[in-house]
């Protein structure tokens, strides 16, 4: 290698893809390039030998180029080509030629040409990979993929997903810059920022005995940036939450985090919606967006109609309330249906609701049992059903209690037609009814193919309850974010029944207060959530008191932001959106690991680099730590 000298190439050339190893990438050559002498470099994707001819498909991130080695024309190169194996890295020099008539490959961007090799250099050899890189559809055990992620990422589907994700983030950045946002990084070593999960903590060497917490979100910092007058902030922020992993969760993940000053709910939602539309159209122009403007659904309405605060609105299958029509029948009465199970639920202030699943009327006994099991798993005591026959009449094991008119009333209330299977949940707790039917609705919507895969159905859900009651700790818990503002008409509800703000009870008016909180959902996934915040110290302290913090604890945990509010905080609000979830949904994935370069396994491990691992003995002593075992935790106790 010669000594680096001052640059003598144009910025275009410096920004271009040509390097000392290649003039063009493996995805670049077309018929018009025939006759050019070129250098290309890449991995051996596939090879075929035909007598004196050796064909190699050379691969890089940009595509595939067919190289031909002819023993008669370039014997030395052909001899090397005969020896190389898949995944060797080659540099090839040769002449671009049109492929012979009938041998062009229309599926390949470079399919009209091949490069006739004059010489080849093996830049790197490769072991036989543990799985096929050139067969993108071959199933490979995920642990193996994660163990050899650098090989997995060579496979086309991963390349495409990571490229889409990069374009998505680029489009996000462009929208924000255009709208006057500035991108500001906030620290990773920080203090606890509660978002409802456990913190990851990092011991401090300079202050032994103290720890940093990794941010669950940059929430307080972005609010402080509003107090600082930054007006519009955004960040592609890494967040850390120590919780049990699922398909849509990882211990570290990426959020688009943003905050705006002098806004109300409408203004934040309007910007975010326009940004989502623009990003979707630029990244996946072929996907159909179900409805613009996005539907904005009140939280209670979402729970009533869909049993979910992140409804998949690609299909109907809405929940219907059965009690009003049955109890209005002759011989019944307020709360009386004739069926004890329903009546008990109603008497306890609960509900009887249903969904009508199309085409499922002829489900077998075991299919129904499976649905009952599903409902029980999510807390229902049972699941009643009515099947609607070809004549439109309902038949059901509970007809003996409800009577023929009761069953007919159910069919009518559910607007069910021939072939429908009506599934009914009754419970004293409306949340159970909504949740179970909401999950059944989502499951059956997918099973029955009611959800069009090509459609992106974005919707907003707003006005969540400010708090839910934590019976164990006898306090209110913020439903979403402890800093969320209260809907102005509900401010006077932020009080306790006893009058003592530090003695909350289940009966408090605060339980009815609505938050200026909005979530955006996409195809049944929560994509993001945010709120207009409380920006007055007195109100924030009142809200924290309801959440069980004494004045002392408040100041210890949130003193920084409370104090900042004494120095002129503008009204402000924002949102955070899951980049991993969004990228997964835009690439038809159900697992966010598929759109992360280096995700963790279900047990939070990185099998490639072996994380987490034991600290070195000197790290223990420098930090003043000793491992004494774990007393009670969901994670196994490490041997001493
Ligand atoms: N910090 C919140 C979260 O991480 C989002 C927000 O309210 O802006 O969910």
The arithmetic mean of pLDDT across residues 15-28, rounded, is 98
The arithmetic mean of pLDDT across residues 28-32, rounded, is 98
The arithmetic mean of pLDDT across residues 499-510, rounded, is 90
Residue 301 has pLDDT above 90, yes or no: yes
Residue 440 has pLDDT above 50, yes or no: yes
- Residue 167, both tokens: 């374009």
- Residue 526, both tokens: 């929560």
* CATH 3.30.1360.30 domain span(s) along the chain: 315-450
Residue 365 has pLDDT above 50, yes or no: yes
| Ligand 1 centroid – CA 483 distance (Å) | 9
| Ligand 1 centroid – CA 251 distance (Å) | 16
Q: Quick one: pLDDT band at residue 352, thresholds 50, 70, 90?
A: very high
Q: Would the CB of 195 count as within 6 Å of ligand 1?
A: yes
Q: Would the CB of 530 count as within 6 Å of ligand 1?
A: yes
| Ligand 1 centroid – CA 258 distance (Å) | 9
The arithmetic mean of pLDDT across residues 335-348, rounded, is 95
Confidence at residue 632, expressed as pLDDT on a 0 to 100 scale: 61
Place of tokens 């207060």: 513
Q: Would the CB of 481 count as within 6 Å of ligand 1?
A: yes
Residue 335 backbone zone (phi > 0: left; psi -120 to 50: alpha; other: beta): left
φ, ψ for residue 584, nearest 5 deg: -65, -45
Q: Would the CB of 531 count as within 6 Å of ligand 1?
A: yes
The arithmetic mean of pLDDT across residues 260-265, rounded, is 98
Give yes or no for a cis peptide into 347 (omega within 30° of 0). no
Confidence at residue 247, expressed as pLDDT on a 0 to 100 scale: 67
As a three-state string, the secondary structure of 459-474 is EEEECCECEEEECCCC
Residue 1 has pLDDT above 80, yes or no: no
Q: In whole numbers, what is the pLDDT of the chain averaged over residues? A: 95
* CATH 2.40.50.140 domain span(s) along the chain: 11-124
Asked if 442 and 312 touch (Cβ cutoff 8 Å), the reply is yes
| Ligand 1 centroid – CA 505 distance (Å) | 27
Range scoring the smallest mean pLDDT among 27-31, 287-291, 360-364, 621-625: 621-625
Asked if 179 and 267 touch (Cβ cutoff 8 Å), the reply is no
Residue nearest atom 4 of ligand 1, based on CA coordinates: 217
**Looking at the domain 315-450, which fold is it?**
Gyrase A; domain 2 (3.30.1360)
> Nearest 5 degrees, angle CA 556-CA 560-CA 564?
140
* CATH 3.30.930.10 domain span(s) along the chain: 136-303+453-463+516-535+570-640
Bridge partners, residue 354, by sequence? 320, 424
Segment holding 160, helix H or strand E: helix 156-178
Locate the ligand 1 atom nearest the alpha carbon of residue 531 and give its number. 7
Residue nearest atom 3 of ligand 1, based on CA coordinates: 576
Confidence at residue 137, expressed as pLDDT on a 0 to 100 scale: 85
Locate the ligand 1 atom nearest the alpha carbon of residue 481 and give its number. 7
- Residue 492, both tokens: 């006077």
Smallest CA-to-CA distance from 34 within 98, 93, 92, 94 is with 98
Segment holding 531, helix H or strand E: strand 525-532
Q: Quick one: pLDDT band at residue 44, thresholds 50, 70, 90?
A: very high
CATH of the domain spanning 136-303+453-463+516-535+570-640, picked from 3.90.550.10, 3.40.50.620, 3.40.50.880, 3.30.930.10: 3.30.930.10
Residue 638 has pLDDT above 80, yes or no: no
Locate the ligand 1 atom nearest the alpha carbon of residue 528 and give its number. 9
Confidence at residue 481, expressed as pLDDT on a 0 to 100 scale: 87
Q: In this prediction, what percent of the chain has a pLDDT beyond 90?
A: 90
Among 217, 234, 261, residue to substitute to test ligand 1 (most atoms within 8 Å of Cβ): 217
The CATH superfamily label for domain 11-124 reads: Nucleic acid-binding proteins (2.40.50.140)
Residues 70-90 have pLDDT tens digits of 999 999 999 999 999 999 999
φ, ψ for residue 583, nearest 5 deg: -60, -40
């Amino acid at each position: 290698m010669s000594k680096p000298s001052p640059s003598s190439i144009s910025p275009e050339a410096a920004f271009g893809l040509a390097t000392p190893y290649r003039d063009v990438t493996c995805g670049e050559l077309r018929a018009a390039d025939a006759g050019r002498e070129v250098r290309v470099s890449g991995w051996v994707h596939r090879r075929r030998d035909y007598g004196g001819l050796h064909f190699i498909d050379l691969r890089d991130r940009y595509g595939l180029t067919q190289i031909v080695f002819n023993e008669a024309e370039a014997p030395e190169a052909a001899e090397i080509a005969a020896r190389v194996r898949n995944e060797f890295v080659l540099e090839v020099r040769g002449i671009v030629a049109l492929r012979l008539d009938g041998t062009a490959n229309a599926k390949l961007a470079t399919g009209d040409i091949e490069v006739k090799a004059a010489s080849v250099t093996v830049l790197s050899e490769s072991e036989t990979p543990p799985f096929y890189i050139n067969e993108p559809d071959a199933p490979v055990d995920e642990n193996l993929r994660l163990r050899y992620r650098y090989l997995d990422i060579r496979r086309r589907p991963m390349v495409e997903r990571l490229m889409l994700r990069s374009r998505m983030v680029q489009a996000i950045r462009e929208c924000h810059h255009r709208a006057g946002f500035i991108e500001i990084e906030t620290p990773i070593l920080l203090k606890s920022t509660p978002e409802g999960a456990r913190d990851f903590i990092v011991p401090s060497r300079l202050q032994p005995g103290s720890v940093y917490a990794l941010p669950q979100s940059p929430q307080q910092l972005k609010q402080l940036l509003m107090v600082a007058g930054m007006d519009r902030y955004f960040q592609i922020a890494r967040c850390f939450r120590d919780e049990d992993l699922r398909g849509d969760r990882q211990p570290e993940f990426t959020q688009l985090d943003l905050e705006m000053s002098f806004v109300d709910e409408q203004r934040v939602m309007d910007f975010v919606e326009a940004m989502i539309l623009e990003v979707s159209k630029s990244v996946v122009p072929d996907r159909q967006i179900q409805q613009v403007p996005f539907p904005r659904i009140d939280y209670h309405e979402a729970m009533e109609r869909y049993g979910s605060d992140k409804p998949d609105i690609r299909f109907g299958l809405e929940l219907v309330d059965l009690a009003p029509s049955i109890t209005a029948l002759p011989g019944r009465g307020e709360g009386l249906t004739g069926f004890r199970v329903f009546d008990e639920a109603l008497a306890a202030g609960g509900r009887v609701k249903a969904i009508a699943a199309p085409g499922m009327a002829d489900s077998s006994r075991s299919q129904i049992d499976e649905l009952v099991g599903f409902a029980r798993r999510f807390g229902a005591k049972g699941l009643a059903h009515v099947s609607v026959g070809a004549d439109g009449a309902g038949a059901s094991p509970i007809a003996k209690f409800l009577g023929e008119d009761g069953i007919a009333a159910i069919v009518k209330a559910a607007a069910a037609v021939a072939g429908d299977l009506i599934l009914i949940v009754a419970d004293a707790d409306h949340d159970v009814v909504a949740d179970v039917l909401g999950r059944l609705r989502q499951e059956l919507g997918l099973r029955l193919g009611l959800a069009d895969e090509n459609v992106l159905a974005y919707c907003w859900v707003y006005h969540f309850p400010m708090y839910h009651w934590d019976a164990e700790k006898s306090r209110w818990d913020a439903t979403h974010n402890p800093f969320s503002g209260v809907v102005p008409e509900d401010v006077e509800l932020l009080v306790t029944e006893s009058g003592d703000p530090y003695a909350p009870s289940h009966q408090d008016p605060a339980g009815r207060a609505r938050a200026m909180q909005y979530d955006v959902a996409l195809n049944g996934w929560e994509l993001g959530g945010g709120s207009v915040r409380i920006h007055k110290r007195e109100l924030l302290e009142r809200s924290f008191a309801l959440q069980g913090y004494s004045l002392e604890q408040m100041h210890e945990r949130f003193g920084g932001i409370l104090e900042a509010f004494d120095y002129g905080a503008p009204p402000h609000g924002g949102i955070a959106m899951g980049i991993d979830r969004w990228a997964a949904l835009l690439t038809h994935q159900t697992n966010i690991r598929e759109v992360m370069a280096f995700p963790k396994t279900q047990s939070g491990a990185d099998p490639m680099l072996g994380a987490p691992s034991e600290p070195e003995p000197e790290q223990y002593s420098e930090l003043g730590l000793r491992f004494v075992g774990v007393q009670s935790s969901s994670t196994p106790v490490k041997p001493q």
